[in-house]
Amino acid sequence: MIEQEFEQIAVYDTAKELQDAAAEKLLEYQAALEDMHGDILLGIEDEFTIHGIDYREEQNLIDYLTERLSDKYGSLFASIDDEHPLMRVKDSIEAGKNHALHIPNTIRLELVMDHEPEKPHDKSHLVHKAELLTEMRQDILEAIEAYTDEPSTVSWNPRPIVDLHAYLTETVDMTPEEILDDIKEQAENYEGLIGRDRILECETLEELLLDDNAPIDNKGAAGSGVHINIGFVGKEGVNPFYNADDPDSGTPVTWNTSAGIIDVTAESILPFVNLRRSSWNRIGNSNLSASSEARYHPLKKGGAIVKQNPQSKEFYERHGVPYKVAVNEKNAHIEVRHCDGGAGLKDGSSLIMLQLCATLAGMYHGLKEDKIQSYDQLLEHVAPLCQDYDTAVENFNGSKLMHSLLGDRLFKAVQEHTMAQSRGLEEVWHTAPDTMPSPYDEEPDVEMA
């Protein structure tokens, strides 16, 4: 017990140092990039999962959270959005669509922060937003506890569900028959669902999930995590990501900032800081995820590390996906997914700050290298992602690029925090929610360094 407490204290101490070191370095890269291309615009999106509330409550819960966060944060808060359901339907994947159903008793939402927050005069708005995200997570947790008397768990940890059948039967407080009825009721009400008939014909949960040609993909449901949207105001108000002649392809600034982030992502340990078994596979179905490469891709469906967003109407029509909004000179930016949102409140703002710092470091690196001369060349620029924790740590420790970009203090802080985390890691795949490492356990009663 005493040993566990010391390990927990070590994680909090290293998280605090990581947060401070990342914030310090972040300010350096912000100043350098803004000197090149004007003020940085930042939007943070934070996916999280709530276990213990029926998905039919989703809209009521969204309205409830929106009211609470709007009252407290005003324009700093943008929205709470419904996120994609969690169980992928095989037939829809094969048809090139992305249809899915909810896991029973589970809701997945996304917090969206405004990209131009008001900011204190004494600090960077990037640092401020990372700190505010931690505050918003605490407020969401308290709001969920007030919303329902039923036991519930809020998870910001991008934990994969590697075996959906085991997860449902071991952690959801329903019988297999009740789970099957819940899933079939969803399919019944989803008339456009590809694969709907096969789901409705299943007589057992095993048939639905475990048969050789089961209609629901059993390889794992998507996790949660932070991703960021980043852009520039531009010198004299000209957005350097916007190409008026071909909005979809972007500009040399788009290409080289993206390439730099790809280089950094492949050599960082961001996807692995918290979970020994984690990798890009934790996002879910491998057909929808970039499970082996850091790369640029214009659509999430291709599994982007980096993408220019939003795309033009013609682009969406050409790829057969729903049209969102046309890119223009005001909204052209890139979306970055480092694939790890951390362990919620336990990490404070440390990993969010590290994501931001790694992103800006990659952008600066790419612009200085200036090696990508066309959009086609960017699409060919890939780097292998590590597929396990130990290899990622080894590669990071030996990375001259990361040491150079992060500097001595931050590089050491990442190493020490990762080591502290690894001592306390547990297997969590099939553990009941009330025994899982909680994202909101009480912190030890110690004073942080």
Which residues in 111-134 are b (16+ Cβ under 10 Å) and which e? bebbbebeeeeeebbbbbbbbbbb
Work out the average pLDDT over 200-227: 85
pLDDT of residue 294: 81
pLDDT above 70 covers what percent of the chain? 78
CA distance linking residue 352 with residue 336, whole number of Å: 12
Indicate if the pLDDT at residue 49 is higher than 60.
Answer: yes
Q: Which pairing describes strands 306-309 and 293-295: parallel, antiparallel, or unpaired?
A: unpaired
Work out the average pLDDT over 242-270: 90
- The pLDDT mean for the chain works out to 81
pLDDT of residue 383: 87
pLDDT for 97-114, tens place per residue? 778 899 998 888 999 998
CA distance linking residue 448 with residue 346, whole number of Å: 13
Is residue 22 within a helix (H) or strand (E), and if so which, with residue range? helix 2-37
pLDDT of residue 11: 56
Indicate if the pLDDT at residue 162 is higher than 80.
Answer: no
Indicate if the pLDDT at residue 3 is higher than 50.
Answer: no
Indicate if the pLDDT at residue 155 is higher than 60.
Answer: yes
Q: What are the two backbone dihedrals, phi and then psi, of residue 413, each rounded to the nearest 5 degrees? A: -65, -40
What is the model's pTM? 0.84
Please, which pLDDT band fits residue 171 given cuts at 50, 70 and 90? confident
pLDDT of residue 279: 43
Query: What residue ranges do the domains of the chain occupy?
Result: 7-42+237-430, 46-227
Is residue 49 within a helix (H) or strand (E), and if so which, with residue range? strand 40-51
Partners of 335 in beta bridges: 229, 307
Please, which pLDDT band fits residue 172 given cuts at 50, 70 and 90? confident
Q: Is the peptide bond before 310 cis (omega within 30 degrees of 0)?
A: yes
Work out the average pLDDT over 21-47: 94
Indicate if the pLDDT at residue 251 is higher than 60.
Answer: yes
